[in-house]
Chain A
Amino acid sequence: MTREEFDAHVRGIERRYRGRPLALRLRLVVLAAVGYAGLLAGLVLVFALAAFFLVPAWLLPIADGWPFWFLGGCALLGGGAAVVRALWVRLAPPEGRVVTRREAPALHAALEDLRRRLGASPFHRVVVTGDCNAAVNEVPRLGVLGWPRHWLQLGLPLMESLSAAELRAVLAHEFAHLSGRHGRFAAWIYRLRRSWEQVFARLREPYVKSAVSLRPLLLRFIDWFWPRFNAHAFVLSRANEFEADAVAARLAGAENIASSLLRLEVHGRLLGEKFWPDLWLEANRTDTLPPDVFLRLRDTLRAPPPAQAGVWLEQAFRWTTSTADTHPCLSERLRAVARLPAGIERGEFPAWPPALVPSAAETLLGPALEKVRAAVAARWQKDSAENWHARHGRAAALHDRLARLDTAGPAGTDADGLWDKAGVLMKLEGDAAAAPLLRQFLALRSEHAGANFCLGRHLLAESDAAGEAHLERAIETDEDCLPGACELLLVHFRRLGREDRIRATQARLDRHEAAVAASHTERLNVVAGDVFIPHTLTAEELAALRAVLVADPEIAAADLVQKQMRHFQKQRLFVLCLRLQRAWYQLPNRDREQAAVARLLPKIRLPGRKLVLAPHGGFRALASRLASIPSARIFRRAAAKL
């Protein structure tokens, strides 16, 4: 199902079940049952096959029944193993520092209070990680069949970013999903959707190279089932988010949920677009991972607003919700809790949130914070070490390459040298560092798809709309750039809140994805069953072609048509059939025909793809088809004998 189809599907569901929540729930129950049935169908089939052999084996004496025992055993063990292997997926619990009640009594007291108030399930463990989020992870013990364990994952950056009250609001939101506050059914569907989403994603990962598995069959079912279930659950889940926000507002205060949402939005961008990229640039210089990364992160969060603060804030409020988002956008969520700042519609946006001292981390973790921070940093170092060292090594090689490029010749004279250098700089220091070189290169080779793409990407990251044009140019030159360019444009338009452009870009992306595979076949195959239209050559082009044909005395006639392209209709594909002169008593000579085709093929110039053929041999049917098209005959030699 394409994005456009999914969007249409979601909209259709919203229309169909508007005012009929019970019908939607019933539908979801049916879909969940279908999901479980589909996942277990393989197992049922295996049991049925095994029973087919084992029942007669049970009834026969062992001397006669042993082949049935053997076959039944093979079916049960082999089939069972294949199905279990196909279904087997292990979701690892979140990795991080486990924080015990003894270490952080304040945190656990706050969690217990919230849990009790909301009647949510208890947590198996509370884990502090290096991510900037809070989530309740459900780790199913039985893979696709469920039976989850709840792990509360708290990101240290999040705790450093929020106050204790704001964190309480965030946690209240998460707990609300697990509690029966907005209905046990909704909570179950919410959890099931999240759980299946993770499991199905894992199922798609290749697990053993070239292994024979039933998993492709399972994935076929998932491909059919998941978009349907997801679309229905999506409609319910989005409503759940608002309800969870409302619960959080009631328990922790609307101000706190509103300020936490804003902080998470802008701090997330600050970390994602500035702190982490800057930190990783250090790998170019040193092979040693910084030990104080989370102290630096805290300081970054407490530092004065960055230069892009205004733009980021504006974009945070302009961001719109798409069908890819399970969570509504910031402005919708703030509006729902009646805390949308006034003047947003007029372009007046609130200020960058002030730094917080003490943070939720300091308040709730207390003396354990240093230990927890050190542990989280150590884990980050462990997880990042390989990439860090690889990046450092790559940077060394890139520096060497850069040095050689610099010594090879003066910059600006050789376009290829410029492009190579820009490429090295992009890899080394990012798009921004290479932007001047890219501009310089495009001055020489304005049509270069890669350069346009990279510059467009850089400009959009800088919130510069000029990037759109570069991306469009890249697509025009090389259609293979379209998916990547459209993804960049989508993010750009969403930041601007341009819903019309978002829809158009999504539709374009879907069309392209659908057309690419089909058009490849269409462009490289011509059969008699294709739809042919009269050629669209200009008079000059046709005259040039006729001149080539006239020059060869063997050619008696020629038929020319154009294949109608369903995809990429601007492309043209011509089919030219050459008919040779022969006396009435002569049989068709295939070798002679092939020789004529080979002789004329390099001389024939047509504005598109071309297939030149002779009427006998393998192309007989196609040639007959061309002969039946009245306007196809473009040349006939006077007094020619066919």
Chain B
Amino acid sequence: MPTTYNGIGTRYAGRRNEERREAACHSCGRLVNLTSYDTRLWFVILFIPVIPLARKRILDECPVCRRHYAIDAEKWETQKQLGISGAMDTYEASPTPEAAMELHQTMLNFHQRAQAAEFRRGMVEKFGENAHVRAYLGEALTRVGNAAEGAPHFARALELRPDLPEARVGVARQHLGAQRLDDARGLLDFLEKPGAEHLYSLEPLEILADAYRAAGQHAPALELYQRLLAGLPAIGQVPAFRKKVQLSEKALRPAATMLPKRKRSLKNLWRSAGGLLRAAGFVGLILLLIGAGFIIANEYNRRHRTIYVINATDADTSVIVRGAGEDQTVRLARMRPGDAKPNMQEIVLPEGHYHVLIGGEKTEEFDWDVRTEYWDRWGGKNVWLLNVRGAALLLSEHVTYRRDPPPPTFELHFGRTAEALSGITNPFTVLPASLQMKSGEERVLTRLDFFPGEPSGLLGALALQHREAEAFDLAEWMLRRNAADETMLQNYVALAAQAHQTPRAERLLRTGLAVRPVNIPWHREYQNLHMNRADEAALAAEYDGLLAAQPENSALLYLRGRIGPDGGAFFERAHRADPMNPYANFALGYDRLAMADAAGARPLLESALAALPESVQFAQLLWQCRLALGETAALEAEARAAIAREPLAIGASQRLIDALAAQGKNADALKIAASYARAAAQLPPEERTQLHATVRRHALYATGDFAALEKDAAPDRTPAGRRALLQALIEQGRAAEAVKLQPLTAANVEDALHCLLVSLALRQAGDAATADAWLERGVQLLSASSKAEQNFARILRDSAPPNPAELAALKTDTMGKAIVLATLAAQHPEQRAELHALVRKLPLARTYPYHFLQRLTAAEK
């Protein structure tokens, strides 16, 4: 059928050769005037015919439901002419009643009613006394909706052949129409004979029975229904028929019903149900299937739970999970140094109660429920972990996917042997970089995996998110597992200090003091917590006590030497007790360097570094020592080799810059900063910018280009940028401007040496009053620090001129010592030359305030 959408589509237009007939619509079944006509099919726009598509003959269009047949007009015309002329030819060749009936029927089939009517007149003339022909004409006319014209033909046929079934049925139908039911029944008596159903259709009998029922004559109706049931037993199961019989039986109330027992079957139920019920049944069936699918999926999930068994310990382990079915045994190798990930195996178990046995050096067993709520099984995304000894550090990362996503959040999982996690969408698999989603949609995926980096790095991240408690838990768990993790130890102590949790750190550190062999870094951190005026005496007493138990313990001797200003003797004893003790060698080397004895410090520092090559502190001091000794060419070569191995090593780049600057190769030093920028191009933008700025500023300072440093740092508002700007201003003699960046009243002025330096700079700039204030602040801060620094404070407060020999023997950080000596020189102009000479002798790193001190003491060169 032609259709249009918003006025565009196809449509019939025009109507010719229209014919009508009354008949039941083949689609909706209504008794209507069906129309046939010629028309044209058009392509229409806004219902306006635009393009003619085809000529059509429309057949039997229902005025109600508009359904019809359509055929190409030419094809229809051809078939009509050839069909009728063919039948006509047959009839003319053999003018029998059969041929006449065939021709007439062909004319009616092609809707040639006028032609058929004309031919019918001839038929009646020629075969009017043939009962078959008369009965046919009656039937044909009735079929085309002209029952009135057909009635005389039936009547004549019955006159001619009272036995002719077609004639009897035809006349009976007229009686039915006129409500002469008994007359009709008389004519249809042959249908009531036994076996009639084998020869004739019993439909007229049913129509008659229905007519009796409608007329309230239920007795004859029931007789006829009984006859129908006898001839066609299957009709007894047809709901419509049963309903009719029941209505008549209800009226007459016979002793027993004639209807057979209803066969109960789904098919019958389906057939007897109405359209709505069928639709509901269909929907119900679909829902049932979907429900069954969900239940099966739920049961499948219940029976297939994945348990991840992880071994991050340093021992081979077996894990036995005992419960439903056979025991599941998992053997996992230990995690070796260099392994990227711990060993892991998956086992699939049904939910239930289990007993877990973990073997290895220290066996462990416990009961464990692997279970979820029924409703959580579909979307719960649950994960069960058996983390042997809780040794693996796992991270669950929640990533939000949307147009403007928030930063990912994460949680840490460690220290627990058995754990159940929910909402894990990607267990041990990577998250997609992007997802195809609807606009405005938000989706959160959660990945569970092993933490890939150094756990010590996590502390800072946690602190930044104000999750100090987690950071402490992690650090303490890591330190209990590996007390030798120096980086973690330092970060932990630093974090404790920053979060004002020193007592907590002390409690932990105290637990490791009695451990032997002595863990020197552990003790150092412990000591660092007490390196202040109040605690130092007690600390010294504590270590004296330890030494009393082991007087020749090199480590304890070294540690004791760290307390108070007179540690040199202890360091010597420690060295004698164990010449290979790297810390004792380092301490001695440090002292030598503080006394400007770089040549004497070198072998000691070298020995210390050889024993503990991973120590950054040892390496830096040895570098400083060698720089002071003028080994710049060798240092340059070493730094270049280190960069070649690791182009992004920032320390190596800075060392190379220092080595080049020390040789006066300022241009080369700046080139190193540029090449570092190229190497860092592969890094993420933020990290790249930050690292490059660090190296560049270091190069600018080392080469003494402070104007460029100022220009570089000025736009940078970060703490690092402000610091670089301050340094550039101080170095350029613009102390007043520098002080504005960080006034004395600022809360973060806590560095005593910085205060002394600013004081020197201000004094040099002629602002004595402000310089005095900064000096006072510096001295105050020194007084509150360790005993060695208190010593500096005492010297600075002393109005008497200092003893240069005594000052030369001070064993402390060279840069700090240099600043203090320079300050003393400012306080005591009479000894300036001598003190400045001492400063110039000290082996200083080429970092701030190297150039300031060099300029300040330049007269004594």
Kindly state the interface size class of chain B when it binds its partner: 35 or more
Q: Does B96 contact A (CB under 8 A)?
A: yes
Q: Give chain A interface residues in 421-444, CB to chain B under 8 Å.
A: none
Indicate whether B131 reaches chain A with its CB closer than 8 angstroms.
yes
> Quick check: A397 and B79 within 8 Å, CB to CB?
no
Closest to B86 in A: A609
Can you report 8 residue pairs joining A to B where beta carbons are below 8 Å apart? A397-B197, A398-B199, A400-B190, A408-B161, A409-B161, A417-B161, A525-B79, A610-B82
Contact B85 A408 (CB under 8 A): no
- Seen from chain B, the residues whose Cβ lies within 8 Å of a Cβ on chain A are 55, 72-75, 77-79, 81-83, 85-86, 89, 92, 94, 96-97, 115, 130-132, 161-165, 190, 193-200, 429
Asked whether A608 and B163 contact (CB < 8 A) given A397-B198, A477-B94, the answer is no
| A61 and chain B: residue at smallest CB distance | B429
Q: How far is the CB of B632 from chain A (nearest CB, A)?
A: 58
Tell me which of B73, B115, B132, B194 has the highest count of chain A C-beta atoms within 10 A of its own C-beta: B194
Separation of A397 and B194 alpha carbons in the complex (Å): 6
Residue of A nearest to B97 (CB): A416
Cα A448 to Cα B190 in complex, Å, equals 28
A401 and B190 within 8 A (CB): yes
Shortest distance from the beta carbon of B292 to any chain A beta carbon, whole Å: 15
Contact B161 A608 (CB under 8 A): no
Q: Pick the contact of A397 from B72, B92, B199 — CB < 8 Å?
A: B199
Is B194 a contact of A393 with CB atoms below 8 Å? yes
CB neighbours (8 Å) of A618 from chain B are 55, 72-74, 77
Contact string, A35-56, partner B, CB cutoff 8 A, digits 1/0? 0000000000000000000000
Q: A608 is contacted by which of B55, B74, B85, B94 (Cβ under 8 Å)? A: B85
Q: Which of A613-634 contact B (CB under 8 A)?
A: 613, 617-619
Could you tell me if A447 and B82 are in contact, using CB atoms closer than 8 angstroms?
A: no
Q: Which of these, B77, B92, B94, B194, contacts A447 with CB under 8 Å? A: B94
Closest to A527 in B: B78
Residues of B within 8 A of A526 (CB): 78, 82
Q: A138–B452 Cα gap in the complex (Å)? A: 71
Which residue of the partner chain B has the closest CB to A611? B81
Are A401 and B199 interface neighbours, CB within 8 A? yes
Chain A minimum-CB-distance residue to B198: A394
A477-B94, A608-B89 as given contacts; A416 in contact with B130, CB under 8 Å: yes
The distance in angstroms between the C-alpha atoms of A393 and B227, with both chains bound, is: 13
User: Given contacts A524-B79, A618-B77, could you give 20 more A-B pairs where the C-beta distance is less than 8 Å?
Assistant: A393-B198, A394-B195, A395-B195, A397-B190, A397-B200, A401-B163, A404-B163, A408-B161, A408-B163, A420-B164, A477-B94, A524-B83, A573-B82, A606-B85, A607-B89, A609-B82, A609-B86, A612-B81, A618-B72, A619-B74
Q: Which residues of A contact B86 (CB under 8 A)?
A: 523-524, 608-609
Instruction: Give the residue of B82, B190, B198 whose beta carbon is less than 8 angstroms from that of A404.
Output: B190
Any chain B CB within 8 A of the CB of A390? yes
Q: Give the top 3 A-B pairs by smallest Cβ distance, nearest first.
A: A393-B195, A618-B74, A394-B198
Please determine whether A611 and B78 come into contact, CB atoms closer than 8 angstroms: yes
**In the complex, chain B residues whose CB is within 8 Å of the CB of A610:** 81-82, 85
- Complex CA gap A602/B85 in Å reads 10
Report how far A478 CA is from B83 CA in the complex, Å: 17
Q: Which residues of B contact A608 (CB under 8 A)?
A: 85-86, 89
- The interface residues of chain A lying within 8 Å CB-to-CB of B163 are 401, 404-405, 407-408
Cα(A607)–Cα(B190), bound, Å: 45
Known: A401-B190, A408-B163, A417-B161. A524 touches B82 (CB 8 A): yes
Q: How large is the interface on A (under 10, 10 to 19, 20 to 34, 35 or more residues)?
A: 35 or more
A618 to B78, CA, bound (A): 10
**Which residues of A from 306 to 339 have beta carbons under 8 Å from B?**
none
A449, chain B: closest CB distance, angstroms: 9
Residue A601 at the chain B interface, CB threshold 8 Å: yes
Q: Which of A388-415 contact B (CB under 8 A)?
A: 390, 392-398, 400-401, 404-405, 407-409, 414
Q: Are A416 and B161 in contact (CB under 8 A)?
A: yes
Kindly name the residue among A61, A397, A420, A526 whose own CB sees the greatest number of chain B CB atoms within 10 A. Answer: A397
User: With a CB–CB cut-off of 8 A, which chain B residues contact A612?
Assistant: 81
Minimum C-beta distance from B635 to chain A (A): 53
Chain A interface residues (CB < 8 Å from chain B): 61, 390, 392-398, 400-401, 404-405, 407-409, 414, 416-417, 420, 445, 447-448, 477, 523-526, 573, 601-602, 606-613, 617-619
Q: Which residue of A lies closest to B114 (CB)?
A: A602
Residues of A within 8 A of B130 (CB): 416
Which residues of chain B come closer than 8 Å to A447, judged between CB atoms? 94, 96
Given A397-B193, A526-B78, are A408 and B73 also a contact pair (CB < 8 Å)? no
Residues of A close to B200: CB separation below 8 A: 397
Alpha-carbon distance between A133 and B299 when the two chains are bound, in angstroms: 59
| Contact partners of B162 in chain A: CB under 8 A | 404, 408
Residue from B85, B89, B115, B193 in contact with A400 in the complex, judged by beta carbons closer than 8 Å: B193
Are A609 and B78 interface neighbours, CB within 8 A?
no
Alpha-carbon distance A405/B199, docked complex (angstroms): 15
The distance in angstroms between the C-alpha atoms of A611 and B94, with both chains bound, is 21
Enumerate chain B residues within 8 angstroms of A400, measured Cβ to Cβ. Answer: 190, 193, 195-196
A606 CA / B200 CA spacing, docked (Å): 41
Please indicate the chain A residues that have their CB under 8 angstroms from the CB of B72 in the complex.
618
A393–B231 Cα gap in the complex (Å)? Answer: 9
CB distance from B383 to the nearest CB of A (A): 13
| Chain B minimum-CB-distance residue to A405 | B163
Cα of A393 to Cα of B192 in the assembled complex, Å: 12
* Contact A396-B195, Cβ < 8 Å, known A404-B190, A526-B78, A602-B115: yes
Say whether, besides A390-B198, A396-B193, A416 and B85 are in contact (CB < 8 Å): no
Check B55–A617 contact: CB distance below 8 A.
Answer: yes
B190 near A393: Cβ-Cβ < 8 Å? no
B78 and A524 form a contact (CB under 8 A): yes
Chain A residues with Cβ below 8 Å from B82 are: 523-526, 573, 609-611
Q: State the Cβ distance, A404 to closest chain B Cβ, in Å.
A: 4
Closest B-chain residue to A391, C-beta based? Answer: B198
Residues of A near B165 (CB, < 8 A) are: 401
In angstroms, how far is the closest chain A Cβ from the Cβ of B162?
A: 6
B residues within 8 A CB of A619? 74
Chain B residues whose C-beta falls within 8 Å of the C-beta of A414 in the assembled complex: 161
Q: Min CB distance, B241 to chain A, in Å?
A: 20
Cα-based distance from A528 to B711 in the complex (angstroms): 95
Contacts of A609 in B (CB 8 A): 81-82, 85-86, 89
